[in-house]
Structure 1
Amino acid sequence: MLAFLRKQLQDLLEQRAALKTELDAVLKAPTDEKRGLTDDEDKTFAEKRDGIKKVDADMAAIEQRIADLEDEEKRAAKADELRGKFSPEGPQPTGVKVVSEPETYRKGGKASYFRDLYRSQHVGDRGALERLQRNDQEVAAGLEKRAITTTDGSAGEFVPPLWMIDDYVALARAGRVVADQIAHQPLPPGTDTISLPKVVTGTATAEQASQNTAVQNTDATTGSVSASVATIAGQQVVPQQLIDQSPINMDQILLADLAADYATKLDVFCISNNAANKRGLLNVTGANAITYTDATPTVGEAYSKVGDGIQQIHTGRLLPPDKIFMHPRRWAWYTVSLDTQGRPLVVPVANMPANVLASMSDVVSEGFVGTLQGLPVYVDPNIPTNLGAGTNEDRIIPIRSTDVILFEGTPRAETFRETKADQLSVLLRFYNYAALHSERYPKSISIVSGTGLIAPVF
């Protein structure tokens, strides 16, 4: 922001210098000292003089804005310093990176993204529109630094502020474990289907029968796999009074709630969706199916089934799996199981375990929890627990995650007042696009299922 204003100030200085040069030229034009300025010269002189006055006024306004922003920076830095100084635990990381140019929309700032979104679209507030456009530039620059790509919006939509996207990502990580652990690509603009080429049958070689005889000649055949773009959206109706009169910005509360639910829905989409060109992991055609049937299941038996799923990826894909997904209740079943001597089969890494079935890392509800057969284990509560004939089974998913690609866009927001005008309300809409390529290599996915994975007994 400060760089933008300083560039404006420099441009005005150059504009003023040019006007001053032209004004001096007018004054020096008469060669006869007895002759005054002509009417045209007098008019030009007045225009240049007024132009300089306007530039001076604009420069003064920008200089004041720069001074205000610099003061705001100093106050924010001082507040962070005091917050750490007087914290009972000592200085605490604030998560705020103090830079020379504060963002247009930031936590604790005066500008409200949703309020500006409404006022730019429905009131014609030019200042709000300029802030939104400046924010889009800031977001694009910020995402570029993070190696994330965003697509351009149309006239009626804007990208949420960078701090909102950071929060959205943080929330999404907590609620979309599987979606975050597969490969990611930015969603290309202007398409509703993403098709990737695939070699169906390859070439071949063979031993030559004898010298000067034909060598093996087998033509490869190719095809493609497609992923349809899905739209995940939500909306929230808020009273006009909240937008106009609220002393606090509702941006963080509203977006956090919408983003948290979006994260869950996207994760479920990646795990359980069952539609052509949109299949989640559990419904991939041709995936390795491992059935574990047992009325009295044990961790030891389940261990061998997971091993079967791993070896099927080795032999079918000819490359190793890299992760295992399961429901938190399944991992808990592992961690509480004992051997015949009453010793736990899964112990913390800190205990330097030997001859154990698996090892535990941090105790978390979602995310990385430990290792099993040399692979990292991630628990995700969005893995269903109502599967099977008894609607009480979950699934274990060994996978080569880099073979599954999630194409995801950047979330967008819009406001509408027409549909709710009769009750003085405004509709906020949040949405994003995503496409999942899960069937490029079906043999990269193993699904362990069956009565051995019914609800565990503790």
Structure 2
Amino acid sequence: MLAFLRKQLQELLEQRAALKTELDGILEEPTAEKRALNDDEDKAFAEKRDAIRKTDGEIQAVEERIADLEEEETRAAKAAELRSRFTPEGPQPTGVTVVSEPETYRKGGKASYFRDLYRSQHMGDRTAMERLQRNDREVSEGLEKRALTTTDGSAGEFVPPLWMIEDYVALARAGRVVADQVQHQPLPPGTDTISLPKVATGTATAEQTSQNTAVQNTDATSTSVSASVATIAGQQVVPQQLLDQSPINMDQILLADLAADYAVKLDTFVINNNAAGKRGLLNVTGSNGITYTDASPTVGELYSKAGDGIQQIHTGRLLPPDKIFMHPRRWAWFTVSLDTNGRPLVVPVANMPQNVLAAMGEVNSEGFVGTLQGLPVYVDPNIPTNLGAGTNEDRIVEVRSQDIILFEGTPRSETFRETKADQLSVLLRFYNYAALHSERYPKSISVISGTGLIAPVF
């Protein structure tokens, strides 16, 4: 194989040299007087130049394959030399240390299994094919070695399982989509309640009935809205042995998991909390409630309900909403719904749709996914799906997000060894403080609910 590649490389180099000679011939002056190339000469020049570039690419590919094969031959020669130093009775006392060949596809290695798979199938790369074949042999030999010792009690205990510690599988958790889409402010220190003054009823003007008569005089009244500071916290007790003996930092893994769960709980706090001074978006007193009741719901009918929720914010808040939140299953129902001619009602923006109900943006399981009635749609798995009389309804929330303020402190992650010292344990703790002002402008929120939002059928 190596001899063939070297011969092929020599042929390519000769081919390139011939092309270069032809190219130089085109550039030679046909007469003593200098002149520009004519059209035929310019075309021939371009063809030769492109041919040289193509040949250069082929030369580079062959040189890379030769280098790979030479490296493999070197490794094979070293392995053969080591094997030759041993007899059937055992190793000779030469002081030689036996080493094993590294696996073809290993973490940190230069070879890529998927790149070789592509190059072998689509480019006919022989070197990639050989690496794939060598990997097949390595896997086969490994299985044969394990075959006789895989049962506990029959020396199976000497074949420990291979745990990919560094590539551990973290618990899948949702993010904090809604919480990140409202207005954010840092939590003020030294308080457990954040109160905001509010104008309850305003002043008034009126047309003066005649000159020198009293003008309209209406006194404004005021009130306040308050948000209580909530504490969201979690802990985990772990044995000291786990921290000491694990090859990875278990405290970092567990604290990261606590932080991930905090994100879920904070998002749920913003969406669905139902306590005085801590109302989530679904439970704000005085918000716009739109009910969609239907035993056989359709996206077309729900579309008009979405428009109703939008207009109620326009009418009650006198400013436009800017975001729509729904559960991923609800958006999926939108995207699979068809009109009477079998055409999808929601199509990608790239298709430049005409007369569609909504447009798909990015494909996400949480976050921005598209637009509906001109507003961006965000899907959030933390929106509950167990609401309503049948405990199978979700909700759609339309908001003017700047009217909702989430005050959030700085998260704290801590490790305590002293508190559990008597049992050789370590306590990991994560917590933060947050307050939500969702009732500043109740008419900034529209919530669509009802039996039309039961679990969709696909």
Band the TM-score falls in, shorter-chain normalisation? 0.5 to 0.7
Per-residue deviation, 1:423: 2.1
Aligned to 2:303: 303
Distance, in Å, in 1 between the alignment partners of 2:247 and 2:361 is: 44
Aligned to 1:192: 192
Distance, in Å, in 1 between the alignment partners of 2:427 and 2:383 is: 32
Distance, in Å, in 2 between the alignment partners of 1:192 and 1:379 is: 32
Aligned to 1:398: 398
CA-to-partner distance for each residue in 1:100-121, whole Å, 9 max, x for gaps?
Answer: xxxxxxxxxxxxxxxxxxxxxx
Equivalent residues in 2 for 1:443-458, closer than 5 Å: 443-458=443-458
AA in 2 matched with 1:286: G
AA in 1 matched with 2:383: I
Distance, in Å, in 1 between the alignment partners of 2:109 and 2:343 is: 45
Aligned to 1:284: 284
Identity of aligned residues (%): 87
CA-to-partner distance for each residue in 1:256-276, whole Å, 9 max, x for gaps?
Answer: 211110000001111110000
Aligned to 2:266: 266
Aligned to 1:232: 232
Aligned to 2:161: none
Distance, in Å, in 1 between the alignment partners of 2:321 and 2:340 is: 31
Distance, in Å, in 2 between the alignment partners of 1:84 and 1:197 is: 63
AA in 2 matched with 1:227: A
- 2:347 equivalent to 1:314: no
CA-to-partner distance for each residue in 1:184-228, whole Å, 9 max, x for gaps?
Answer: 000011110000111000111111111111111111111110000
Distance, in Å, in 1 between the alignment partners of 2:209 and 2:232 is: 59
AA in 2 matched with 1:278: K
CA-to-partner distance for each residue in 1:395-443, whole Å, 9 max, x for gaps?
Answer: 1111111101000011112333344233200101110000000001000
Distance, in Å, in 2 between the alignment partners of 1:322 and 1:267 is: 19
Aligned to 2:415: 415
AA in 1 matched with 2:306: V
Per-residue deviation, 1:386: 0.8
Distance, in Å, in 2 between the alignment partners of 1:244 and 1:261 is: 25
Choose 409-418 or 394-403, whichever is displaced more. Answer: 409-418
- Where does structure 1 differ by over 6 angstroms across 4 or more consecutive aligned residues? 83-90
Q: Could you say what secondary structure the match of 1:308 adopts?
A: helix
The alignment's C-alpha RMSD in Å is 2.1
CA-to-partner distance for each residue in 1:84-106, whole Å, 9 max, x for gaps?
Answer: 9988999xxxxxxxxxxxxxxxx
Per-residue deviation, 1:248: 3.7
Per-residue deviation, 1:296: 0.6
Distance, in Å, in 1 between the alignment partners of 2:258 and 2:223 is: 39
Count of paired positions: 295
Per-residue deviation, 1:244: 4.7
Distance, in Å, in 1 between the alignment partners of 2:456 and 2:213 is: 64
Distance, in Å, in 2 between the alignment partners of 1:315 and 1:234 is: 43
AA in 2 matched with 1:307: G
Distance, in Å, in 2 between the alignment partners of 1:292 and 1:201 is: 32
Per-residue deviation, 1:255: 2.5
Unaligned 5+ segments in structure 1 are 1-82, 91-170
Aligned to 2:217: 217
- 2:327 equivalent to 1:365: no
Q: Could you say what secondary structure the match of 1:175 adopts?
A: coil
Distance, in Å, in 2 between the alignment partners of 1:419 and 1:256 is: 21
Q: Could you say what secondary structure the match of 1:185 adopts?
A: strand
Distance, in Å, in 1 between the alignment partners of 2:421 and 2:253 is: 23
Q: Structure 1 pair 238/211, CA: closer, same or farther in 2 (3 Å)? A: same
CA-to-partner distance for each residue in 1:39-76, whole Å, 9 max, x for gaps?
Answer: xxxxxxxxxxxxxxxxxxxxxxxxxxxxxxxxxxxxxx
Q: Could you say what secondary structure the match of 2:212 adopts?
A: coil
Per-residue deviation, 1:249: 3.1
AA in 2 matched with 1:367: G
AA in 1 matched with 2:305: K
Equivalent residues in 2 for 1:158-177, closer than 5 Å: 175-177=175-177
Per-residue deviation, 1:236: 1.4
Aligned to 1:333: 333
Aligned to 1:257: 257
Q: Structure 1 pair 200/415, CA: closer, same or farther in 2 (3 Å)? A: same
Distance, in Å, in 1 between the alignment partners of 2:338 and 2:109 is: 46
Q: Please say if residues 370 and 377 of structure 2, whose CA atoms lie closer than 8 Å, have aligned partners that are also in contact.
A: yes
Q: Structure 1 pair 313/85, CA: closer, same or farther in 2 (3 Å)? A: farther
Distance, in Å, in 1 between the alignment partners of 2:397 and 2:328 is: 13
Q: Structure 1 pair 431/298, CA: closer, same or farther in 2 (3 Å)? A: same
AA in 1 matched with 2:436: L
Distance, in Å, in 2 between the alignment partners of 1:292 and 1:382 is: 21
AA in 1 matched with 2:297: P
Q: Structure 1 pair 251/216, CA: closer, same or farther in 2 (3 Å)? A: same
Q: Structure 1 pair 352/285, CA: closer, same or farther in 2 (3 Å)? A: same
Q: Please say if residues 196 and 225 of structure 2, whose CA atoms lie closer than 8 Å, have aligned partners that are also in contact.
A: yes
Equivalent residues in 2 for 1:96-245, closer than 5 Å: 175-244=175-244
Distance, in Å, in 1 between the alignment partners of 2:411 and 2:242 is: 23
Distance, in Å, in 2 between the alignment partners of 1:198 and 1:89 is: 62
Per-residue deviation, 1:316: 0.3
Distance, in Å, in 2 between the alignment partners of 1:327 and 1:271 is: 12
Q: TM-score, normalised by structure 1?
A: 0.62
Distance, in Å, in 2 between the alignment partners of 1:420 and 1:217 is: 69
AA in 1 matched with 2:231: T
Equivalent residues in 2 for 1:37-52, closer than 5 Å: none
Distance, in Å, in 1 between the alignment partners of 2:303 and 2:334 is: 9
Per-residue deviation, 1:246: 5.0
Q: Could you say what secondary structure the match of 1:316 adopts?
A: helix
Q: Please say if residues 243 and 251 of structure 2, whose CA atoms lie closer than 8 Å, have aligned partners that are also in contact.
A: no
Q: Structure 1 pair 285/84, CA: closer, same or farther in 2 (3 Å)? A: farther
Per-residue deviation, 1:254: 2.1
Q: TM-score, normalised by structure 2?
A: 0.62
Equivalent residues in 2 for 1:5-44, closer than 5 Å: none
Distance, in Å, in 2 between the alignment partners of 1:382 and 1:420 is: 35
Distance, in Å, in 1 between the alignment partners of 2:438 and 2:403 is: 8
